[in-house]
Amino acid sequence: MKTDSRFKTLIKSTNDVNFTLFGEIVTVPKGTTLAAAILSNFGEASRITETGALRTAFCMMGVCFDCLVEVDGNPNIQSCMVLVHDQMVVKRQIGLRSIGISKDD
């Protein structure tokens, strides 16, 4: 079930980025960190741990690794350390990441 954002946006921007976040198209100001974009749009967990516990961003400065999400197919990305860009596709990090498909360079 969707939980409303726990934050309100006070500074509006005219220079926006559109991308897909947890299956929805969202619009946030250019230069926003992905974690901030998540928190301003969703109140619920952005990550589910290997034991099934719910987590969101916690420290916002790259220390805690609780804000991990999957970005454009790459798992375990610290969302507080990347900036949003157009056409980005972001999914929740559910459980442990997988190896992926083996291909030579």
Contact residues toward other proteins (CB under 8 A) are 3-13, 28-29, 31-33, 36-37, 39-40, 43-45, 49-51, 53-66, 68, 74, 76, 81, 83, 95-105
Kindly report the number of other CB atoms within 10 A of residue 73's CB atom: 8
Which of residues 23 and 42 has its CB atom nearest to other proteins in the complex? 42
Which of residues 23 and 100 has its CB atom nearest to other proteins in the complex? 100
How far is residue 79's CA from residue 35's CA, in Å, rounded to a whole number? 5
How far is residue 91's CA from residue 74's CA, in Å, rounded to a whole number? 10
State the minimum distance, in angstroms, from the CB of residue 85 to other proteins: 12
State the minimum distance, in angstroms, from the CB of residue 25 to other proteins: 19
How far is residue 101's CA from residue 105's CA, in Å, rounded to a whole number? 12
CA dist 55 → 7, 65, 92, 105 (Å) = 16, 10, 10, 35
State the minimum distance, in angstroms, from the CB of residue 79 to other proteins: 12
Which of residues 4 and 23 has its CB atom nearest to other proteins in the complex? 4
State the minimum distance, in angstroms, from the CB of residue 14 to other proteins: 13
How far is residue 3's CA from residue 39's CA, in Å, rounded to a whole number? 11
